[in-house]
Structure 1
């Protein structure tokens, strides 16, 4: 029986890796640091000591924990997800690391429930393509930002989905920068930074990381 359990666990782990979910599991965070340029992301986002920031679609907290250490005791992180089980794991990881500047929030699918006019930066990483009510969420984000606050959208684009419709790309868990750029502008943001190539997602050459940074007009 124990051997069967081990085999099932191995198969399940392999399935997670195949589907690109491994980067969300704590045991894989160190490997993720090898291909994700977090310092560059924070530089683009203006995240620094004392910043008040949010991580929408935080999963188990990979980026939230990096944020926590970057903003320090004088800053604050709001970690938002729509699944309580992920937030429960993040709360445990925060306790294990003695990090006290992160508040976890169970958001709705159309509302991240962030405080109004309070945030310096909101980052949405590898989550925007999952949002059906993206315009409603962008409007909530805009209202949560301080004057000159930044919204940062980070996505991976799969090359085989080039020239596909937005709906087709969403179903493939990817999204083109052109769609999001238009949506940010429609929601009242001005694009101040655009990075079309921040490296390969999971070191796979057919998945390029892109970044958009906007501020409210």
Structure 2
């Protein structure tokens, strides 16, 4: 995914998929109002510029699904993230849907998965896959580079796998993501322990950027089966005004 984030189903699949009851937050639309509402004039900013390079997007796929399954990658990530049946989960930077389809199986028919990408072609291919595999508990939608546009207080887990280093404006992205979590919800980040220009994020930098907008790190642990480490964060607040965010400064390595 890029926020430069990774990811043409039929119009019916896209419209109906978004309307699947995502814990009530994406349901109950009467046609007169958008499914995801934002305050009029909600244009906060400016946000600070990150003091680090941003990795280019190379591909929506970094390894075959069979190879990843042989390492039990998704199972181990979902286990450590404590993803359970009935949960509502956002898969940000879903790409071709490796995690999306496995999350759908894990949360079950009582759970919901919102799969999002900012690349329309990848979003469309994923929508086709969701329709083909009849994943009725999955919605697919297009996000924006600095705004995932997630409904507030809706998600038990927000999953970001090997995409954080591609976010152009991490402070704005995280600031806008903050309200989407339920009170006990977690953001789960999987990334490689290397510089952002080399398609990774140093754990200390990740922690600093999350904390700058009001998150608290809950855990960080090695995750070699997923090519790096897994870190979790909770929105403890207070969420600062954009002008009050103090950007993290990279140290020479």
TM-score (norm 2): 0.67
Residue 139 (1) aligns with residue 175 (2): yes
Q: How does 1:38-53 map to 2 (within 5 A)?
A: 38-53=74-89
CA contact (8 A) 1:114 1:144 kept: yes
Q: Aligned match of 1:198 in 217, 220, 223?
A: 223
Which protein is richer in strand relative to its size?
A: 1
Deviates more, 1:29-38 or 1:120-129: 29-38
CA deviation digits over 1:16-54, x for unaligned, max 9? xxx9848457xx211221235222211222211110000
Residue 150 (1) aligns with residue 175 (2): no
Offset of residue 199 of structure 1: 0.9
Q: Aligned match of 1:187 in 213, 235, 245?
A: 213
Deviates more, 1:79-88 or 1:38-47: 38-47
Q: Which has the higher contact order (CA 8 A, sep 6+)?
A: 2
Provide structure 1 residue ranges, at least 5 long, that are not aligned to the other structure.
1-18, 159-168, 202-207
The DSSP-based 3-state class of the residue aligned with 2:178 is: helix
Distance, in Å, in 1 between the alignment partners of 2:86 and 2:219 is 22
Q: Aligned match of 2:232 in 209, 213, 216?
A: 213
CA deviation digits over 1:154-175, x for unaligned, max 9? 10134xxxxxxxxxx3222222
Number of residue pairs the alignment of both structures matches = 180
Tell me the residue number matched to 1:173.
Answer: 199
When residues 22 and 105 of structure 1 are mapped into structure 2, their CA distance, relative to the original with a 3 A threshold, is closer
The DSSP-based 3-state class of the residue aligned with 1:180 is: helix
Distance, in Å, in 1 between the alignment partners of 2:87 and 2:225 is 28
Provide the aligned C-alpha RMSD in A. Answer: 1.9
Which protein is richer in helix relative to its size?
A: 1
Tell me the residue number matched to 1:109.
Answer: 145
TM-score (norm 1): 0.77
Offset of residue 55 of structure 1: 0.7
Provide structure 2 residue ranges, at least 5 long, that are not aligned to the other structure.
1-56, 237-253
